[in-house]
Amino acid sequence: MADKPAGVQVHRIYIKAKPQAIWDAITKPEWSEKYAYGGRASYELKKGGIYFHEASAEMKAFGVPEKCILGKVEESDPPRKLVQTWHPQFTPEMIAEPPSRLTWEIREHEGGFCTLTLTHDTTGAPMVDGMVRGNDEPNQGGGGWPWVLSDLKSLLETGKRMAG
């Protein structure tokens, strides 16, 4: 995974939901544990606010630390835009890489759907870049952002996760 140079990844998905519902699913702990890899995301939604993601029970069973992703909020404009740093704590090698930067943008359209665009700047963090890019094994922790966003869409549109 680390042999490709890191850069900027842009992931875009269309979700039949209101902007506030998408915002809440991203930023509220009671929502974040319902999709993707589980665990609880906690945000202090102000400039300089703390962000952390707690590992799910399954992740902890694999030796992932309690606070498995750390960061800071750089910009919070609910329910339209969230900019944050993102620093996984999974391995000593990932901890040694610099924090990357996430930008979540939600744009509402006529017809009751929104565009959710996630831009992940992984410059200088090739291990993180490879991890979040995703591969064909989402159930083994390899789905990256495509898996996370697809599961979020499924949950918001149907009330159910894609799997599990």
Residue 54 sits in a domain whose CATH number is 3.30.530.20
pTM of full prediction above 0.95: no
Residues 77 and 63: beta-carbon distance below 8 Å: no
For residue 130, give its domain range. Answer: 8-158
Q: Are 65 and 51 in contact (CB under 8 A)?
A: no
Inside any domain, residue 163: no
Q: Is residue 83 part of a domain?
A: yes
Would 101 be classed as within a structural domain? yes
DSSP state of 3: T
The answer to whether 35 and 26 have CB atoms below 8 angstroms apart is: no
Question: pLDDT band for position 140 (50/70/90)?
Answer: low
What is the count of structural domains for the chain?
1
Non-local (6+) Cβ contacts of 6 within 8 A are 100, 122, 123, 124, 125, 126, 128, 129
44 in a domain, yes or no? yes
What pLDDT digit, counting tens, does each position of 3-19 carry?
A: 455 699 999 999 999 99
3 falls within a domain:
no
Contact 56, 66 (CB under 8 A): no
